[in-house]
């Protein structure tokens, strides 16, 4: 199956964000990111306009930025990108579901071929990504990771990468992001979603009922007004 994000990358026309993308392309992990994106097991992904392949591709790109900015070594960058790729495979619907990360974690061994401590860290991070922030550390501890700091960093960066794509449902609040570098990419996240949707000829309006759309639109307008947007 084709990758709209790879098409955009090959076109290499990122408008005002060209310097940002050029910097990512110079990162030592860029070939790793391209490999993970090219070899993404798309048949395993949850299929929907909200949590489907588009969300996954964009989350992987946000994950690459997170790995570069942290910075992560290449081993942990690979783990993060694989978490981004398969964090939603356990979804059964698009509704709020705190347990879909736990279900997704059960597929990571067969999807990634990971085992041992690497698999433990990934399962912990993917399980935790869908739970409330207050439960993050307790969720990680249940997996008894040997390296707490690596596991916590992986979980936090996955949450940031996933969270940045909340622009697709008009519900990104950067105060909930964990890294300043992630918060600084809010506008890029919106731009990426817009160009991605244009590439696949899809709407930029969330596919929700009108009452929820009105609520989300009001929240988005209030946030934009607070940031001085017009």
- pLDDT tens profile 122-135: 999 999 999 999 99
- pLDDT tens profile 180-226: 999 999 999 999 999 999 999 999 988 877 776 777 778 777 777 77
- pLDDT tens profile 154-180: 999 999 999 999 999 999 999 999 999
- pLDDT tens profile 132-152: 999 999 999 999 999 999 999
pLDDT of residue 210: 77
pLDDT of residue 207: 83
Structure tokens at 170: 């008009």
- pLDDT tens profile 63-102: 999 999 999 999 999 999 999 999 999 999 999 999 999 9
34 membership: H or E segment, kind and range: helix 30-38
pLDDT of residue 221: 77
6 membership: H or E segment, kind and range: helix 4-11
Number of independent structural domains in the chain = 1
pLDDT of residue 229: 57
User: Which stretches of 106-228 are DSSP H helices?
Assistant: 108-112, 116-129, 136-141, 148-164, 180-183, 186-199, 210-226
What CATH number has the domain bearing residue 161? 1.10.3210
Contact 43, 85 (CB under 8 A): no
Q: How confident is the model at residue 4 (pLDDT cuts 50, 70, 90)?
A: very high
pLDDT of residue 1: 65
The Cα–Cα gap between 227 and 200 comes to 30
pTM passes above 0.95: no
Domain boundaries, position 212 = 4-226
pLDDT of residue 54: 98
- pLDDT tens profile 21-36: 999 999 999 999 999 9
- Location of structure tokens 């989350």: 59
């Amino acid at each position: 199956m084709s990758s709209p994000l790879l098409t955009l990358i090959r076109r290499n026309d990122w408008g005002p964000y060209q310097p940002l993308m050029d910097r990512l392309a110079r990162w030592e992990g860029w070939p790793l990111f391209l490999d993970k994106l090219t070899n993404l097991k798309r048949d395993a992904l949850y299929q929907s306009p909200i949590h489907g392949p588009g969300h996954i591709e964009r989350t992987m790109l946000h994950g690459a930025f997170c790995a570069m900015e942290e910075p992560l070594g290449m081993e942990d960058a690979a783990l993060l990108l694989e978490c981004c790729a398969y964090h939603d495979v356990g979804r059964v619907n698009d509704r709020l579901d705190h347990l879909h990360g736990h279900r997704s974690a059960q597929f990571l061994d067969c999807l990634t071929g990971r085992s041992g401590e690497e698999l433990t860290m990934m399962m912990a991070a993917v399980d935790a990504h869908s739970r409330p922030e207050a439960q993050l550390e307790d969720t990680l501890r249940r997996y008894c990771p040997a390296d707490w700091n690596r596991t916590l960093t992986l979980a936090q960066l996955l949450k940031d990468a996933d969270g940045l794509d909340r622009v697709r449902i008009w519900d990104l609040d950067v105060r909930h992001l964990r890294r300043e570098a992630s918060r600084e990419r809010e506008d890029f996240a919106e731009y990426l979603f817009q160009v991605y949707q244009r590439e696949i000829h899809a709407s930029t309006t969330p596919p929700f009922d009108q009452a929820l759309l009105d609520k989300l639109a009001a929240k988005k307008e209030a946030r934009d007004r607070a940031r001085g947007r017009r």
